[in-house]
Amino acid sequence: MSYEDDDYHVDTFPKEYGYGAFDQDGLDSTGMAGSDADSKPRILLMGLRRSGKSSIQKVVFHKMSPNETLFLESTSKIVKDDINNSSFVQFSIWDFPGQIDFIDPTFDSDMIFGNCGSLVFVIDAKDDYNEALTKFKNTVIKAYKVNPRIKFEVFIHKVDGISDDTKMESQRDIHQRASDDLADAGLTQIHLSFHLTSIYDHSIFEAFSKVVQKLIPQLPTLENLLNIFISNSGIEKAFLFDVVSKIYIATDCSPVDMQSYELCCDMIDVVIDLSSIYSSEEEAFDNQSSSLIKLNNNTILYLREVNKFLALVCILREENFIRQGVIDYNFMCFRDAISEVFELRMKSQKLPTVDERQEYIMNGDGDSDDENIDDDEDLVNSRTGKMV
Ligand SMILES: Nc1nc2c(ncn2[C@@H]2O[C@H](COP(=O)(O)OP(=O)(O)OP(=O)(O)O)[C@@H](O)[C@H]2O)c(=O)[nH]1
């Protein structure tokens, strides 16, 4: 099967329940892009050949089953993919061919890195990573020079089948060597984030959740809302999910444990699967979507639709569910607040063009974000004040 094929198998989601056709607006190696994608923050997927970049993008955003990535062909040109599922989650992912040479003077680094939100560098943990680290260093130096606001994320990838000790040792070694290389280049101030990932489990979704969250300016507002919602409703943990990709765009401040996250992901799969098989409605997920699953350990999973793209999935003790009326009422307040944060964002959001962003970076101007955050705080206070 070719990478360019449209009819790759879709895992558990109905095919039409996705982000639409895979946008193959190919870019040439000098990076000329379509104008629409210029306005959205970019996530760049970079790394050596066969490190797993295309597989990650296909599995997380296009529901390809991990086994099918074995048949992906090598990427020969930059491929961009617009993710437009909601006002909160809007970005474009650019998948770079492994062989691209960032040091080549014909590579238009201003254009590529200018509007870049995150640079995800994928390192194959099962391979010798010396060459990958050299490429990583050169890429970071170049990218940072153009745009110091880029978030650098390192995926230590393909860690399936590797023991926990070896994983930790690889992470420690890669972290140390990458930081030393950058320090030698005089870049001690750059913050790198490391994630152990595999497409064969939920780790890739978890890692991508964290990457995407850093690009959502309203994250503190969403977290704040979730904190107040769970503490008023007797809930242990709540995730605000992007339903299509199953990445969580926000959660409350209690630590995330992988098992809880996996349970919530599985619940979304169950709801969408059952709904698409048995529902008479056209959409598998709509404003009536909700579900309750009782586990055999006194725990309840409770899912509610927030809007067309987002679902809130909560984990709570069975005895706290006696107050379902309170939970539902608080949820309504929460949902209203979310939709108002949306509207505020829509109003204030005129995404800057690449040139404006360049100017913004050079001037170090950050006032508009601060104003938006103040507006969001007022909103949180007014809405959560109504919760019981
Ligand atoms: N075991 C394992 N294999 C993986 C994982 N992710 C990707 N692969 C495999 O790695 C191989 C290369 O994956 P690609 O996604 O084509 O790699 P790429 O980085 O896009 O490669 P180029 O397009 O050549 O730059 C495929 O056979 C995938 O099945 C993973 O998490 N675990």
Pairing, β 42-47 against β 91-95: parallel
201, 132: one domain? yes
Can you tell me the mean pLDDT for 187-198? 93
Whether residue 209 sits in one domain with residue 318: no
Strands 42-47 and 116-124, bridge-based pairing: parallel
Tokens read off for 226: 């979730």
Please report which helix (H) or strand (E) contains residue 49, including its range.
Answer: none
Q: Which residue puts its alpha carbon closest to atom 30 of ligand 1?
A: 158
- How much is the pLDDT for 385? 63
Task: Please give the backbone phi and psi of residue 142, each rounded to the nearest 5 degrees, phi first.
Answer: -65, -45
**The pLDDT of residue 32:** 38
Residue with CA at minimum distance from ligand 1 atom 14: 52
Average pLDDT of the residues in 365-384: 56
The per-residue pLDDT for 98 is: 84
CA of 66 to the centre of ligand 1 (A): 10
Dist. CA 301–CA 307, nearest whole Å: 19
pLDDT at 285: 66
| CATH number, domain with residue 279 | 3.30.450.190
What does the DSSP 8-state code read for residue 95? E
* Predicted local confidence at residue 372, as pLDDT: 56
How confident is the model at residue 278, as a pLDDT? Answer: 79
CA of 337 to the centre of ligand 1 (A): 41
Closest C-alpha to ligand 1, atom 7 = 52
> What confidence score (pLDDT) does residue 282 get?
66
**pLDDT at residue 245, as a whole number:** 86
Residue 245 and residue 158: Cα distance in Å, rounded? 20
**Of 3, 62, 14, 2, the residue nearest 284 (C-alpha):** 14
Q: Across residues 126-133, what is the average pLDDT?
A: 92
pLDDT at 360 over 80: no
Higher pLDDT, 381 or 259: 259
pLDDT category of residue 7 using cuts at 50, 70 and 90:
very low
* pLDDT, average across residues 22-33: 39
Same domain for 281 and 261, yes or no, is yes
369 lies in a domain?
Answer: no
Cβ–ligand 1 contact at 210 (below 6 Å) = no
pLDDT higher than threshold 90 for residue 382:
no
Tell me the mean pLDDT in the region 40-53: 91
Average pLDDT, the chain: 80
pTM strictly above 0.90:
no
Residue 207 CB–ligand 1 contact under 6 Å:
no
Residue 106's pLDDT is what? Answer: 73
Ligand 1 neighbour 90 (Cβ under 6 A): no
Lowest mean pLDDT among 45-59, 275-289, 360-374: 360-374
Measured CA to CA, the distance from residue 357 to residue 87 in angstroms comes to 19
* 69 shares its domain with 162: yes
- The stretch 101-107 carries a mean pLDDT of 71
Domains contained in the chain, number: 2
Is residue 65 within 6 Å of ligand 1 at its C-beta?
no
Is residue 165 in some structural domain?
yes
pLDDT at 51 over 90: yes
- On whether both 204 and 83 belong to a single domain, the answer is yes
Amino acid 137: pLDDT: 93
Which residue's CA is the closest to the ligand 1 atom numbered 26?
A: 70
Lowest mean pLDDT among 116-125, 167-176, 371-380: 371-380
Nearest CA to ligand 1 atom 6: 52
Would you say residue 25 has pLDDT above 80? no
Share of the chain above pLDDT 90, in %: 50
Tell me which of 5, 9, 49, 55 to substitute to probe ligand 1's pocket, judged by most ligand atoms within 8 Å of the beta carbon: 55
Mean pLDDT of the 200-204 span: 94
Q: Which residue has the tokens 């000329």?
A: 32
Whole domain around residue 276: which residue ranges? 219-348
Pocket test for ligand 1, best of 72, 99, 135, 136 (most atoms within 8 A of CB): 72
Q: Is-contact 252 237, C-beta < 8 A?
A: yes
207 lies in the same domain as 261: no
Are 100 and 178 found together in one domain? yes
Least confident of 46-55, 231-240, 339-348, 378-387: 378-387
135 touches ligand 1 (CB under 6 Å): no
3-class SS letters over 196-257: EECCCCCHHHHHHHHHHHCCCCCHHHHHHHHHHHHHHHCCCEEEEEECCCCEEEEECCCCCC
Is residue 255 in a domain?
yes
Residue 260 sits in the same domain as residue 189: no
State residue 281's pLDDT score: 66
**Which alpha helices (DSSP H) does the chain contain, by range?**
35-38, 53-62, 109-114, 130-146, 164-184, 203-213, 219-233, 258-278, 324-348, 354-363, 367-384
Indicate whether 209 and 224 sit together in one domain.
Answer: no
CA distance 193 to 195: 7
CB distance 386 to ligand 1 below 6 Å = no
Domain boundary among 182, 198, 215: 215
Say whether both 255 and 189 belong to one domain.
no
Cβ contacts of 59 within 8 Å, gap of 6 or more: 65, 66, 69, 199, 204
Q: Given 159, 185, 215, which residue is the final one in a domain? A: 215
Regarding whether 226 and 141 lie in a shared domain, the answer is no
My answer on whether 74 and 193 are in the same domain is yes
User: What would the pLDDT profile of 155-191 be if each residue is shown by its tens digit?
Assistant: 999 999 899 999 999 999 999 999 999 999 998 889 8
Best mutation site among 1, 3, 45, 50 for ligand 1, i.e. most ligand atoms within 8 A of its Cβ?
A: 50
| Among 223, 214, 272, 217, residue whose Cα is nearest residue 243 | 272
Please check whether residue 184 lies inside any domain of the structure.
yes
